[in-house]
Chains A and B, each alone.
Chain A
């Protein structure tokens, strides 16, 4: 046998061109090399420098963003694009130092036009360049076209996503963060058929940047088909289906059904600002439902879905399934928003890096003048009331909106369990009607630290009365002693 021509020969010797490897080398050295080099590479799949970042890493970005006023997304995109090593505070601070820019700048440019005789006339003009969109981001980062493409790809794949790229106020939601009443950190309760598609769903979810929603998507599949048939995601009517007839059950390939389903759900998530219930219902009603819901309260409710079915879909001879989101979610066990430290984490980030104090963003009473909700109640509401994730059910975690010191933790008249936190610089926040307080006077608290549980307590300073009010959190921010509307600082909560 001509060994030179048999590189895969597995006898005593292996011939690869000019090199001859002994059997011992193949049996012992190669496995060792494999273990030394390949296993750490497997670990690199979870490399902290690659998005999506963990909650702990996002917290570091947020902290630095808050301290330096460099928008969160800029830090993350820069870190991602340039592969700037581990996500440590010092490292991200170093990145933040690279951002020395303003929100806009004046730029001189030449505007040319041709006159009647075809001669080109140019004149100098000035224009204001504002920082919006990925082009300006690339411009700010002084990246060349190739890098810009990388950023575009990163953004398009939803690996890093932001609603706003403007400097100054840091407002934004990231895929995988908790928005609305359902978190992406739950577990689907599905049958073995659906479970068998886990790896395929995961594959496309990873590819399209929506991996945190794999369990939600499994719940969708469970509700749609129970995993049966050749179109388990029932996605054949989606615009992303370009291969099979767009009729119910039109797709004849389960993997293609999943591919289309994941793309469709990704779009629904984006349109719904990552509010899971709205996104699920959008999957059923079509993409315009998410846009419509923004004009009608901002998030899914059964009533709104029925209204949409009645007023919009009926015009096209359709009804849809208004309770589809609820049906899907019955196959989903929500675990709340987990951080790396295992605790529940803040979801919405507002100005100054402050965090929305609880999981729900359902406002039940706004700041300002109001009709007194009860006899003896104040007609001016110096706070916002936030409803529970599950209306009427106490226990939602409440966390500190920023670092600070607990100046009061106790009972207050009409407010039941209350916690006041001084954040320094004249900023104070209060959290009342708590079911339970988890901090004490004089305790130093960190941003996002759980300080109590949402409830409906009332009573007096000496007597606690439970269920005195509907379950909600009375959340107030005061600056220099004056109450301010918290929603001013959390414009993405409406």
Chain B
């Protein structure tokens, strides 16, 4: 026979543990749970790239824009450029794509998937009312259209 007092003691400890558990700040429980990394799917990444392309093109600073391209698709090697040269080159690219006009809108009008390459047909609208249609091929979140195709008038 187990002594009643021991049983009582066990009960007290048990109740104590329970009450302490209820008083724990649950916000701290996350200390041990590591958040899972979350990634866009490839089609989502492609879409994000096009979105970024249009956002950058809308502005007047195009340095981020050129990094959306596969470096082999640029018509110059940017690797050896100085900061100033890179800035000038980015300006040249951005302005040429927009034909030196002020862009007011960029709209994806059509998307086609050919062997994992997403081809976006995009309509750029400018402040003078004119429009320009370009095609952007994106694979794995990287633009693979040669820059010349975009900069021609």
Contact A428 B61 (CB under 8 A): no
Identity of the chain B residue whose Cβ is nearest the Cβ of A404 in the assembled complex: B48
Which partner residue on chain B sits nearest A441 by CB separation? Answer: B141
Residues of A within 8 A of B81 (CB): 413-414
Do residues B19 and A40 form an inter-chain contact, with CB atoms below 8 A? yes
Decide if B31 touches A36 in the complex (CB within 8 Å). no
Known: A87-B27, A442-B141, A444-B38. A413 touches B61 (CB 8 A): no
Contacts of A44 in B (CB 8 A): 23
B78 on interface, CB distance cutoff 8 Å: yes
Q: Give CA–CA (A480, B57) in the complex, Å.
A: 9
CA distance A407 to B55 in the complex (A): 12
Indicate if A366 sits at the interface (CB-CB under 8 A).
Answer: no
Contact A43 B67 (CB under 8 A): no
- Partner-binding segment picked from A73-81, A234-242, A295-303, A374-382: A374-382
Given known pairs A441-B45, A480-B55, the reply for A420 and B25 (CB within 8 Å) is: no
Whether A426 and B58, one on each chain, are in contact in the complex, defined by CB atoms closer than 8 angstroms, is: yes
Given contacts A40-B22, A444-B39, is CB(A480)–CB(B48) below 8 Å? no
**A443 within 8 A of partner (CB):** yes
Q: Mark A342-386, 1 if CB is under 8 A from B, else 0.
A: 100000000000000000000000000000100111110010000
Binds B, one of A27-35, A94-102, A134-142, A245-253: A27-35
In angstroms, Cα B81 to Cα A46, docked, is 57
Most buried by A among B12, B19, B38, B42: B19
Contact with B along A393-418 (1 / 0, CB 8 A): 00000000000010110101110001
B61 and A483 form a contact (CB under 8 A): yes
Closest CB of chain B to A144's CB: distance in Å?
31
- Contact call A340/B31, Cβ cutoff below 8 A: yes
A121 within 8 A of B: no
Interface presence of B84 (CB below 8 A):
yes
Contact with B along A424-460 (1 / 0, CB 8 A): 0010101000000000111110100000000000001
Indicate which residue in A372, A442, A482 contacts B59 across the interface (CB closer than 8 Å). A482
Choose one: A39, A47, A87, A483; the contact of B20 (CB below 8 Å). Answer: A39
Pair B40/A408 contact, Cβ less than 8 Å: no
Closest to A40 in B: B23
Task: Please count how many residues in chain B sit with their CB below 8 Å of the partner chain's CB atoms.
Answer: 50
**Least CB distance, A152 to chain B, in whole angstroms:** 28
Query: Whole-angstrom distance between the alpha carbons of A42 and B16 in the complex?
Result: 12
Interface centre among B16, B51, B67, B141 (most CB of A within 10 A): B67
**Which of A426, A460, A481 is B80 in contact with, Cβ under 8 Å?**
A460
- Taking CB atoms, residues of chain A closer than 8 Å to B59 are 478, 480-483
Alpha-carbon separation in the docked complex, A410 to B55 (Å): 20
Residue of A39, A56, A376, A413 near B19 (CB, 8 A) is: A39
B25→A46 contact, CB < 8 A: yes
Bound-state Cα–Cα, A471 to B12, Å: 58
Our pick among B8, B11, B64 for the contact of A408 (Cβ within 8 Å) is B64
Say whether B31 contacts A342, CB under 8 Å. Answer: yes
B2-37 near A? 1/0 per residue, CB < 8 Å: 000000100110011001101111011011000101
B37 & A35 in contact (Cβ 8 Å cutoff) = no
Q: Does A422 contact B (CB under 8 A)?
A: yes
Given A40-B22, A405-B48, do A376 and B84 touch, yes or no (CB 8 Å)?
A: yes
* Given A376-B84, A444-B38, CB of A48 within 8 Å of CB of B27: yes
Question: With the chains together, A458 CA to B80 CA distance in Å?
Answer: 12
Contact in complex: B52, A413 (CB < 8 Å): no
Minimum distance in angstroms from B33 CB to a CB of chain A: 8
Which residues of B have CB within 8 Å of A23?
Answer: none
Contact (Cβ within 8 A) A35 B16: yes
Given A408-B67, A442-B45, A56 and B52 contact (CB-CB distance below 8 Å): no
| CB pair A56 B67 closer than 8 Å | no
Counting CB contacts under 8 A, is A126 at the interface? no
- Give residues in B with beta carbon < 8 Å to A: 8, 11-12, 15-16, 19-20, 22-25, 27-28, 30-31, 35, 37-40, 42, 44-45, 48-49, 51-52, 55-62, 64, 67-68, 71, 78-87, 141
Query: Interface on A for B, CB 8 Å cutoff?
Result: 28, 31-32, 35-36, 39-44, 46-48, 54, 56-57, 87, 340-342, 372, 375-379, 382, 405, 407-408, 410, 412-414, 418, 420, 422, 426, 428, 430, 440-444, 446, 460-463, 478, 480-483
Q: Known contacts A407-B68, A460-B78; can you find 19 more A-B pairs with CB under 8 A?
A: A36-B19, A39-B20, A42-B23, A43-B23, A43-B24, A54-B27, A87-B27, A340-B31, A378-B87, A405-B40, A407-B52, A422-B48, A422-B55, A443-B37, A444-B38, A446-B35, A462-B79, A463-B79, A480-B59
Query: Can you offer 24 A-B residue contacts whose CB atoms are under 8 A?
Result: A28-B8, A32-B12, A32-B15, A35-B15, A39-B16, A40-B19, A43-B20, A341-B35, A376-B83, A379-B84, A407-B52, A408-B68, A410-B67, A413-B78, A414-B81, A414-B82, A428-B64, A443-B40, A460-B80, A478-B55, A481-B55, A481-B58, A481-B61, A482-B59
